[in-house]
Amino acid sequence: MKYLDVRGLVVAHGQVGPGTHILGIRAPEIRKGAKPGQFCMIDLKPPGAIDPLLRRPLSIHRVGPKGLLIFMYKVVGRGTALLSQLSPGGSLRILGPLGNGFRIDQSRPGLLIGGGIGTAPLVFLSEAWPKDVEQVAIIGGRTRADIEYAARCLEDTPSRVHLATDDGSLGHKGPVTDLMSRAMEMFEGRSPVVYSCGPGPMLKAVARMAADFNLECQVSLEARMACGMGLCLGCAVPGSRGDDSADSGYLHVCREGPVFRADQVSWEDYPCP
Amino acid sequence: MKYLDVRGLVVAHGQVGPGTHILGIRAPEIRKGAKPGQFCMIDLKPPGAIDPLLRRPLSIHRVGPKGLLIFMYKVVGRGTALLSQLSPGGSLRILGPLGNGFRIDQSRPGLLIGGGIGTAPLVFLSEAWPKDVEQVAIIGGRTRADIEYAARCLEDTPSRVHLATDDGSLGHKGPVTDLMSRAMEMFEGRSPVVYSCGPGPMLKAVARMAADFNLECQVSLEARMACGMGLCLGCAVPGSRGDDSADSGYLHVCREGPVFRADQVSWEDYPCP
Amino acid sequence: MSINPDLAVKTGPLNLKNPVLLASGTCGYGIELQGFVDLEKLGGIVVKGLSLEPRSGNPPPRLMETPCGLLNSIGLENVGVDRFISDKLPALSALDTAVIVNILGDSVRDYQELAGILDQVRGIDAIEVNISCPNVRAGGAAFGSDPDMASEVTAAVRKATSLPLIVKLSPNVTDITLIARAVEHAGADAISLINTLLGMSIDIKARRPVLANTFGGLSGPAIKPVALRMVWQAVRAVNIPVIGIGGIQNASDALEFLLAGAAAVQVGTATLVDPLVSVQILEGIRMYMKETGISDISGLPI
Amino acid sequence: MSINPDLAVKTGPLNLKNPVLLASGTCGYGIELQGFVDLEKLGGIVVKGLSLEPRSGNPPPRLMETPCGLLNSIGLENVGVDRFISDKLPALSALDTAVIVNILGDSVRDYQELAGILDQVRGIDAIEVNISCPNVRAGGAAFGSDPDMASEVTAAVRKATSLPLIVKLSPNVTDITLIARAVEHAGADAISLINTLLGMSIDIKARRPVLANTFGGLSGPAIKPVALRMVWQAVRAVNIPVIGIGGIQNASDALEFLLAGAAAVQVGTATLVDPLVSVQILEGIRMYMKETGISDISGLPI
Ligand SMILES: Cc1cc2nc3c(=O)[nH]c(=O)nc-3n(C[C@H](O)[C@H](O)[C@H](O)COP(=O)(O)OP(=O)(O)OC[C@H]3O[C@@H](n4cnc5c(N)ncnc54)[C@H](O)[C@@H]3O)c2cc1C
Ligand SMILES: Cc1cc2nc3c(=O)[nH]c(=O)nc-3n(C[C@H](O)[C@H](O)[C@H](O)COP(=O)(O)OP(=O)(O)OC[C@H]3O[C@@H](n4cnc5c(N)ncnc54)[C@H](O)[C@@H]3O)c2cc1C
Ligand SMILES: Cc1cc2nc3c(=O)[nH]c(=O)nc-3n(C[C@H](O)[C@H](O)[C@H](O)COP(=O)(O)O)c2cc1C
Ligand SMILES: Cc1cc2nc3c(=O)[nH]c(=O)nc-3n(C[C@H](O)[C@H](O)[C@H](O)COP(=O)(O)O)c2cc1C
Ligand code: FES
Ligand code: FES
């Protein structure tokens, strides 16, 4: 168990897109062990408050010097709305780093595919990417404002970045999968490993196309969580670890994931709300 | 019904004693009708939060220009602790002015007796006091720090102020009732009206002594409240309105009070926690 | 597409202009809110529970805040049915909104007598029978805790009045559907639920229960999941309209109940915290219907 | 006066070094917390409910946050008793803290068989019987909803094992004292309560229940007043020790249960939010005892 529960100082907090914020927390103990694809459980309540009860899972978006952890989140409900009101100088309890993270295959080029807020962990992945391994990133979203900030982050990395929006306001007009087949050509016959994070329907499409191209594909999944550390079994998604161990028919996102091989997930039953 | 429910801007918030804070809220609509002894129900939750569920009753401590309402409160539990974390610039929902307030008898001198945080509404009373009516105030508390600020407020009014502390660190060493009998002499035979607010045991002692001296005595009571406006019947204290109307054996602090004639209260059953 | 949703509700024989009511015990006799809340916008008002004789209620403390909830042990303090009719009803019934009178008693006879008195009075649109009260004859178990007792009270009231009859169920039971079916068969025109969950709180400094009465009723957002579950079950168990109550704080909460199949909702504790909230809830329901293109309130249930 | 309070508890035949336990389903198999929480400080660990065969549990979503509460419909996913014994128990029983195994079944026979298996295994300090599960033979009503069924399960387990036997009650009943007495008479050494309250939540955008299973169990601070009331009632109804559970978030909450007469407490949902909280609760209890001059835990009940 290498995770810790600490109170971290909020050192930066600002809006970077419509309803999208970045949050910088100083938590050196957690920063130290953090790997791309891992997440933290953040307690949004002021000290003494009891509601909203649960912590919220957020992927580590970037790391910085002096123990800095940066998260990128979208306001979607009550918890994230309350979080967005917090000023720098405040503090939050933060539990992490949690989960397995992406397994970078150094022997193969990487194809990073992010959708919307799902791009958050891919920035960390791209920044931590081994220097001598090729990397291409495809970022998609509904519209320009949704992906502009994340795209800028990635452009500061060695990644070659391709963009797609549903409305065509930035980059290709259409889904990320359109760009996926085109990107394949750039690898000149070598099979890249796909690393993907985004909304359920996108992951499903990416997984299918990766299977068609016979590519290894790692997907970072989301599920409602209570504990984030394997205690409650609440974060189940349909799938199978694929080892011979007793198999419940469910994967537990917090402990066995959040990153899974796409072929471990039962996509036909995957809840895509 | 002359009360209103508004969102008021917090224009001042600071500590004035150990665990004691003053809170200035701009709420001109409420300020307009406010009388000494009335209170407001303050919602301490940030927008979107649901806990702590209930508003908290606070007496109006002072009023100021530009619709300013000032409250003085002590941190005693979860709600007031959360409140004390709020910075100026924030806002709070505030319902008021509620309750009946003190009835100033212009024909008689006033003897204001406050204990601890119970002094809060007496400052407003003293500041609103008719110019040509004599007024003496007695303020008591556990120790110097408990009453220093309130005493300073009163010293800026025409009131003659006498102080008492349990530990003798300021003024007389002993309870306010010690000073009450002495103060009587200052009125040279005329019977003052007693206006009192403070902890239960103090009010009980004051009421008893007022009865001994045959003085009219008005007491401002506290009770746990949910609504503050007569809807829930939660704020009962044992007593009787004394009119011939159907009498439940209970007074309702929010609607029939918080100020009662001391002889309306059944002191033997009065909960003094 | 601009629709103007129809919010009118037929709750059995009772017609409401919309599905938002104020719950008993949290809006006084209604008139306390007059001039502050625009009561005529609401579907109706359920007044504080009335007994034959005035009642003093329980000694204080009567209230305790709990996490997202409120414990109360008011003890059914009320002015009695006679004073209600003489002092409160005239102003209340002058309003263009449904007046629903909540009644309570120690015995079946009390309930029957109350219903008989109210049956003769103009300006009352329905009776809501609170069966969460202890049956003094039956050793103090609540009428609402047993299908037979619930049924007996309902039948007795049914005999005494032709007013629309709502029976309000207690949630402190093993199987709410048994009670719901029992009162349906005994002649209720509608059921409302839930009343409060029995709870308590202890003051660890004073080392005694906080409420003078030891136990109290838990209400507020904390109980909403339980309330919604029971409403969902009741809707599927009976063929009469169900009025949903419990922890409704905003339009989204109210909509959960309406989607579960409730014909109307009552707003209780939320009014104590936020006296104007019921009108906002109504507006929120209207907005939701517009946005989802549902033109009639009966199109809400899923 | 500096006292060093004695926190050791005798819960029937089970000795605990202190009254703070981790509740079933909220601490995995205990070992998930190893290295993070100093488990040896605690009185004991109640592991996730075990069945004879492994169970998959319910489809997702399984969780929903509610006001001050959590709805879950895990559906009793577990690795099954055999894998628990082979894979989890060795590390767990090596710890110096009580290991309590929670069991569940579809039939009385399941429970009995489970108890029989566990009776043979070293390193288990007690069995906790979860009777909130549906009795498949009796049409799916929970064993814990009926005194006779509760009693039958208890007696069957009692026959199969000489381990200390705790029966964990469901709160979804009209009268908890009836169930408490029934299981006492059937041979329980202690009772624990409450399990979760049955609740639900609806997604008004998707227009369907949030949980795939429709209903779920409500836990967390929201339910504390109900839990405390039931514990208070149970303590006064039986002569065996009562373990208090429900919404305990901090030492003050735990003390409410101990003052109500609980011999020990279990911390559930709070651990999910704050994995270290149980140890802090224990410290808070110790502090309170020092401050109030209570030297022995048995001096807490009021
Ligand atoms: C491993 C992981 C990493 C994530 N990383 C990010 C990230 O980097 N940036 C980001 O914006 N979001 C991320 N999410 C999603 C984020 O956790 C939710 O958007 C957030 O919890 C919503 O909280 P809320 O209170 O605003 O919403 P509400 O809908 O009010 O929340 C109610 C409950 O549902 C849960 N919930 C709601 N939506 C989601 C969701 N999409 N996934 C999981 N739980 C949900 C909440 O945690 C809470 O328990 C991640 C989720 C997981 C599981
Ligand atoms: C008419 C009136 C005027 C008041 N004026 C002032 C004032 O000017 N300054 C001030 O410091 N305090 C005043 N009080 C007391 C103040 O309301 C409580 O101290 C405050 O509500 C405590 O809230 P809490 O959340 O910190 O305490 P908690 O104990 O956490 O509160 C729990 C619940 O108990 C209630 N409660 C706790 N203590 C009291 C109390 N003494 N009286 C009434 N309800 C209580 C709370 O409102 C809340 O509902 C007044 C009370 C009343 C009734
Ligand atoms: C202070 C208070 C008093 C109440 N009095 C009554 C009553 O007299 N009769 C009744 O049937 N219900 C009474 N109730 C129950 C409410 O009408 C309602 O059923 C319950 O509070 C749940 O709804 P809520 O969570 O919206 O408050 C009372 C509730 C509260 C909080
Ligand atoms: C996610 C989750 C899983 C649970 N699983 C079990 C279980 O397997 N067996 C059991 O007896 N109780 C189970 N419970 C109930 C808890 O042990 C406890 O009785 C209940 O949650 C109330 O306590 P709390 O409010 O402290 O959580 C579970 C509760 C939760 C939240
Ligand atoms: S969130 Fe609790 S096990 Fe994954
Ligand atoms: S606080 Fe509700 S009636 Fe007084």
Instruction: Report the alpha-carbon angle D72-D78-D83, nearest 5.
Output: 165
First and final C-alpha spacing in chain C: 23
What mean pLDDT is reported for chain C?
A: 95
pLDDT at B244: 61
Q: For B58-88, what is each residue's pLDDT tens digit?
A: 999 999 999 999 999 999 999 999 999 888 9
Beta strand D9-11 with D14-16 is: antiparallel
Tell me the shortest Cα–Cα distance from A143 to chain C, in angstroms. Answer: 23
pLDDT at A156: 84
* DSSP reduced 3-state for A68: strand
**B59, B127: one domain:** no
**Number of structural domains in chain B:** 2
Beta bridge partners of B135: B110
Q: For C26-79, what is each residue's pLDDT tens digit?
A: 999 999 999 899 999 999 999 999 999 999 999 999 999 999 999 999 998 999
D 22-51 → C contacts, CB under 8 A: none
pLDDT at A159: 83
Tell me the shortest Cα–Cα distance from D143 to chain C, in angstroms. Answer: 12
Residues of chain A with pLDDT under 70: 1, 244-246, 272-273
What is the average per-residue pLDDT within D29-51? Answer: 95
- The answer, for D298 touching chain C at a CB cutoff of 8 Å, is no
**A141, A226: one domain:** yes
Q: Tell whether C37 is covered by a domain.
A: yes
pLDDT over 70 (residue B163): yes
A 93-152 → B contacts, CB under 8 A: none
pTM over 0.80: yes
pLDDT at A269: 87
Q: What is the DSSP string of C157-184?
A: HHHH--S-EEEEPPS-SS-HHHHHHHHH
Q: Tell whether A273 is covered by a domain.
A: no
Look up the ipTM and state it.
0.96
pLDDT over 70 (residue B102): yes
C 50-109 → A contacts, CB under 8 A: 67-68
- The answer, for A78 touching chain B at a CB cutoff of 8 Å, is yes
Q: Is there an atom of ligand 4 within 6 Å of D197 CB? A: no
**B223, B154: one domain:** yes
Ligand 2 residue neighbourhood (C-beta within 6 Å): B 39, 54, 56-59, 71-74, 76-80, 117, 120, 222-225, 253, 258; C 65
Q: Can you give the CATH number for the domain in which B22 is found?
A: 2.40.30.10
- Residue at a domain's end among B98, B125, B157: B98
Name the least confident of B47-56, B225-234, D64-73.
B47-56
Cβ contact, residue pair B51, A46, below 8 Å: no
Cβ-based neighbour number of residue D156 at 10 Å = 22
Q: Tell whether D178 is covered by a domain.
A: yes
Q: Which atom of ligand 3 is nearest to the CA of C104?
A: 9
Q: Are B230 and B205 within 8 A, CB to CB?
A: no
Q: Tell whether B37 is covered by a domain.
A: yes
Chain A residue with minimum CA distance to D277:
A5
Q: For C274-284, what is each residue's pLDDT tens digit?
A: 999 999 999 99
- Write out chain B residues lying below 8 Å of D67, CB-based: 50-51
- Write out chain B residues lying below 8 Å of D68, CB-based: 50-51
**A42, A147: one domain:** no
pLDDT at D187: 97
- The answer, for A46 touching chain B at a CB cutoff of 8 Å, is yes
Spell out where A44-119 has E strands.
56-59, 62-64, 68-74, 91-98, 110-115
The pLDDT confidence band at residue B246, using thresholds 50, 70 and 90, is low
pLDDT at B19: 93
Q: Tell whether D225 is covered by a domain.
A: yes
* DSSP reduced 3-state for A101: coil
**A239, A216: one domain:** yes
- Residue at a domain's end among A98, A128, A155: A98
Protein residue with least CA distance to atom 33, ligand 1: D65
Tell me the shortest Cα–Cα distance from B86 to chain A, in angstroms. Answer: 11
pLDDT at C126: 97
Q: Can you give the CATH number for the domain in which B238 is found?
A: 3.40.50.80
Sign of CA dihedral D261, D262, D268, D274: positive
Name the least confident of A168-177, B26-35, C133-142.
C133-142
- Residue at a domain's end among B64, B98, B132: B98
Chain A residue with minimum CA distance to C68:
A51
Nearest CB to D204; choose among C174, C175, C256: C256
Q: Tell whether B270 is covered by a domain.
A: no
Q: Are B123 and B96 within 8 A, CB to CB?
A: no
Q: Is there an atom of ligand 6 within 6 Å of B54 CB? A: no
Cβ contact, residue pair B53, C70, below 8 Å: yes
**B92, B127: one domain:** no
Among A233, A234, A236, which Cα is nearest to A270's?
A236
**A62, A145: one domain:** no
Q: Tell whether C193 is covered by a domain.
A: yes
* Residue from B95, B233, B254, B268 to probe the interface with C (highest C Cβ count within 10 Å): B233
Protein residue with least CA distance to atom 7, ligand 1: A58
Q: Tell whether B104 is covered by a domain.
A: no
For B11, the domain range is: 4-98
- By residue count, chain D amounts to 302
Tell me the shortest Cα–Cα distance from B59 to chain C, in angstroms. Answer: 18
Cβ-based neighbour number of residue A89 at 10 Å = 9
Tell me the shortest Cα–Cα distance from A135 to chain C, in angstroms. Answer: 44
Catalytic residue among C37, C85, C103, C133: C133
Q: What is the DSSP string of chain C?
A: -----B--EEETTEEESSSEEEPTTSSTTSGGGBTTB-GGGSSEEEEEEE-SS-B--PPSP-EEEETTEEEE-----B--HHHIIIIIHHHHHTSSSEEEEEE--SSHHHHHHHHHHHHT-TT--EEEEETTSB-TTTTT-BGGGSHHHHHHHHHHHHHH--S-EEEEPPS-SS-HHHHHHHHHHTT-SEEEE--PEEEE-EETTTTEESSTTSEEEEESGGGHHHHHHHHHHHHTT-SS-EEEESS--SHHHHHHHHHHT-SEEEE-HHHHH-TTHHHHHHHHHHHHHHHHT--BGGG---
**B71, B138: one domain:** no
Higher pLDDT: A18 or C225? It is C225
Q: Is there an atom of ligand 5 within 6 Å of A234 CB? A: yes
Q: Can you give the CATH number for the domain in which C275 is found?
A: 3.20.20.70
Select from C20, C26, C63, C84 the residue to mutate for testing ligand 3; criterion: most ligand atoms less than 8 Å from CB.
Answer: C26
- The answer, for B48 touching chain A at a CB cutoff of 8 Å, is yes
Q: Is there an atom of ligand 1 within 6 Å of A271 CB? A: no
Protein residue with least CA distance to atom 11, ligand 4: D130
Q: Tell whether B185 is covered by a domain.
A: yes
Q: Tell whether B269 is covered by a domain.
A: no
- Write out chain B residues lying below 8 Å of C83, CB-based: 246
- Write out chain C residues lying below 8 Å of B255, CB-based: 32
**B55, B125: one domain:** no
**A93, A119: one domain:** no
pLDDT over 70 (residue D212): yes
The pLDDT confidence band at residue D2, using thresholds 50, 70 and 90, is low
User: Two tokens at B79?
Assistant: 């709600």
Q: Is there an atom of ligand 1 within 6 Å of A59 CB? A: yes
**B9, B115: one domain:** no
Q: Tell whether C288 is covered by a domain.
A: yes
**A48, A132: one domain:** no
Distance B135 CA to ligand 2 centre (A): 28
The pLDDT confidence band at residue C204, using thresholds 50, 70 and 90, is very high
Q: For A146-179, what is each residue's pLDDT tens digit?
A: 999 999 999 888 888 999 999 999 999 999 999 9
Q: Tell whether B253 is covered by a domain.
A: yes
Protein residue with least CA distance to atom 9, ligand 3: C49
Q: Tell whether D55 is covered by a domain.
A: yes
**Number of structural domains in chain D:** 1
Q: Tell whether A105 is covered by a domain.
A: no
For C46, the domain range is: 9-61+77-200+219-299
pLDDT at A187: 84
